[in-house]
A and B are shown apart, each in its own frame.
Chain A
């Protein structure tokens, strides 16, 4: 397996309102570096506020880093260069409802990436949308639905369909499973695994649930206060880790996605 994504010394600061003219700087990520092989699944874990969501959003391009670079097959991904990035890295948001436009039909939203990044004509686009919907277990008829007509599971499937529209190399999922109940979550996990096998994609996902991580991930990246404290294959981290912080993360019995 070849190296697909390389993240080098990525940092992110957030500015909070401080006193008068000097905003307070909060470091969410401190020079994070790691790499991802193609077809590999990377789980990012860490306690609340450890920067795992920020890292996911930076990789997907939803935010721009303060410093550091992201390379995809040795090509640098520039922040705000969406047209190149979206053909390779796509994101599935935590809240599927908020990430779908309430005023556009599902079909039009799935069409967006095709409209701006390919030269397909209208009927080809419609076909591609229907195919993507079928791939995620929805019907082509769902293209004319608005987001409020669908159930939570269907919305999440629609979001995944949007993510696979351009046959990306990497899908970033920011706690995409947290809002679903357990049976639907199982369906979505199986769907993600099937899609990975069929389309040979890499996943980067943020999760709290040790079960899901063990089931899906090849590698685990552990974050603490914005720093990487472990980056190793899943078995290694589950079998032998002396660190009490990692142990406490992995031993949580609740399954909140």
Chain B
């Protein structure tokens, strides 16, 4: 019976719990988080959720409007495109290409860029400044342009587009991580910890890292929205995902021809893209302000 608590014990919530409490008070943030959660679920279970195959062409139902329209059919809730493919299935499968793949690319870029950035920040002298100046040159080129250059070398295609965006995002992660750690490196509390005789690993992971999380969270969400947008843009230009693939950007590009006769073919992928991007940005921004608030209180 030793774990019976006789006295009232005040428990201090862990940093993560405090951030979550702050986050929960933000109505917008919770809304965006739910939308994002929905997008993630749709991405994961697109295969089970979609009623038809995304590439199956129903010749009896060409350019059918959504089901709520007088001409619509309940079989195709969001209508069909000019080749008779079910829009709902295409949008759901498109989430895998337009949201799932960028997410994986961002994670992969973060896994490479952040450790390198930390290494650059903790080393000093020529090694660190060479890296810094090299990166400044790379970062002065917009990400989409740089991705275009890489694709011009590798040739178009979804896998090449992903590779290009991965390569473009790595220096961004590297730079942000380096700057975030560098800004903390000479703060009094870091020097105080150093004077405590702590090891370099402890200094980096326990002392400095939690104080850079705010910057890194923003960077991850920024990178995610950049990646989503760039994949869509490359798809739109015909350099990323190729035609039958239900990628939202290439769907938009195809829909331009039929924009007047069947506007839903253009509106639906655009809307999906827009909602995903906005919710990603709101979640990232609210997370940053929630972390800020925790420190201030």
Contact = CB atoms under 8 A, between A and B. Distances in A.
A28 interface: no
B206 interface: yes
A101 B199 contact: no
Interface stretch (A111-119, A213-221, A234-242): A111-119
B132 to A, nearest CB: 16
A82 B193 CA distance: 10
Range for the number of chain A residues in contact with chain B: 20 to 34
Contacts of A144: 12
A113 B192 CA distance: 10
B138 to A, nearest CB: 25
Interface string B1-31: 0000000001010010000000000000000
B196 interface: yes
Nearest to B14: A105
Nearest to B190: A101
Nearest to B213: A103
Range for the number of chain B residues in contact with chain A: 20 to 34
Contacts of B191: 62, 93, 99
A125 to B, nearest CB: 13
A62 B191 CA distance: 6
Given A82-B196, A105-B12, A98 B187 contact: yes
Given A95-B188, A100-B189, A101-B189, A113 B196 contact: yes
B127 interface: no
A208 interface: no
A102 B198 CA distance: 17
Interface in A129-183: 141, 144-146, 148, 159, 162
B196 A101 contact: no
A90 B195 contact: yes
A101 B211 CA distance: 8
Nearest to B212: A103
A226 interface: no
Contact of B189 (A85, A91, A98, A116): A98
Is chain A's binding surface mostly helix, strand, loop or mixed?
mixed
A83 interface: yes
B80 to A, nearest CB: 53
A145 B12 CA distance: 7
Interface in B175-212: 187-189, 191-199, 202, 206-207, 210-211
Contacts of B193: 101, 109, 112
Contacts of B295: 102-103, 148
B124 interface: no
Interface in B154-193: 187-189, 191-193
B213 to A, nearest CB: 8
A105 B207 CA distance: 11
Given A99-B192, A101-B207, A104-B206, A148 B296 contact: yes
Nearest to A143: B12
Given A104-B206, A104-B207, A99 B197 contact: no
Contact of A103 (B10, B188, B210): B210
Interface of B: 10, 12, 15, 187-189, 191-199, 202, 206-207, 210-211, 295-297
Given A98-B187, A102-B295, A103-B210, 14 more contacts: A61-B195, A62-B195, A82-B195, A83-B197, A85-B195, A86-B195, A99-B189, A99-B192, A101-B189, A103-B295, A104-B207, A113-B196, A148-B296, A162-B192
Interface of A: 60-62, 82-83, 85-87, 90-91, 93, 95, 98-105, 109, 112-113, 115-117, 141, 144-146, 148, 159, 162
30 contacts: A62-B191, A85-B195, A85-B197, A86-B195, A93-B188, A95-B188, A99-B188, A99-B191, A99-B192, A100-B189, A100-B192, A101-B193, A101-B207, A101-B210, A101-B211, A102-B211, A105-B12, A109-B193, A112-B196, A116-B196, A116-B197, A116-B202, A117-B196, A117-B197, A141-B10, A145-B12, A148-B295, A159-B192, A162-B192, A162-B196
